[in-house]
Amino acid sequence: FAETYTYDYESAAYNDGYPEWLFSYRVFTTGTGICQEFSVAYAYLLMQVGIDATNMSGHRSYDGEGHQWTYVRMNGHNYHIDPTYVIGHHALDYFMMDDAQREAADGYRKEDFVITSNYAQDHPHPDYAADDHSFWPLWGGEYIGFDHESKILYYTKYDSDWQPMTLTFRYDAFE
């Protein structure tokens, strides 16, 4: 996703609300989009492989800027994934975040989150809390690749001397 699509800065700067032509299909047909389109397209792709996904939105606490991202439920836990912020690079900072990480990363507060689809009616949960920390080792890392057979994700982080370390994350428990 990060290497396939590009952010459409011209559409993002549109001043008269969102144009009617902004929709997730545009991401697949033109390779460009903004957060509202990326989050829906990403959720769609996740649902195609059996992962329960929808869209979440909020406003940054420090400037009120609105944003939309993907919200997933996997193995009984909820997580935030922000496909927009990784367009063009392989950062894992926005992958499988809990609520605290979502707020720490950009100032989106849990009390301001809004599910932006009919997901809440179709999949009622008493609490949309994303509070599982299983993926915290990945935050701050850069994706390298993965071994499907061994179910290992490879990523890089930097030590205190800014030397790269190649690390592994086993994801077999999350199937």
Per domain, the residue ranges of the chain are 6-133, 141-175
Is residue 19 within 8 A of residue 34, CB to CB? The reply is no
Successive 10-residue mean pLDDT values, the chain, 175 residues: 69 61 78 86 92 89 88 91 83 91 88 72 66 92 94 95 96 80
Is residue 144 within 8 A of residue 174, CB to CB? The reply is no
Of 114, 117, 80, the C-alpha closest to 99 is 80
pLDDT confidence of residue 148: 93
Complete edge-to-edge strand list for the sheet that includes strand 142-147: 142-147, 152-158, 164-170
Of 101, 107, 156, 155, the C-alpha closest to 132 is 101
CA–chain centroid gap for 16, Å, is 26
Integer angstrom CA distances of residue 58 from 51, 134, 144: 22, 24, 30
pLDDT confidence of residue 112: 81
pLDDT confidence of residue 123: 56
Rounded CA separation 120/16 (Å): 29
pLDDT confidence of residue 89: 76
pLDDT confidence of residue 17: 58
Rounded CA separation 74/114 (Å): 19
Helix (H) / strand (E) element for 36: namely helix 35-48
Tell me the two tokens of residue 90.
Answer: 């392989």
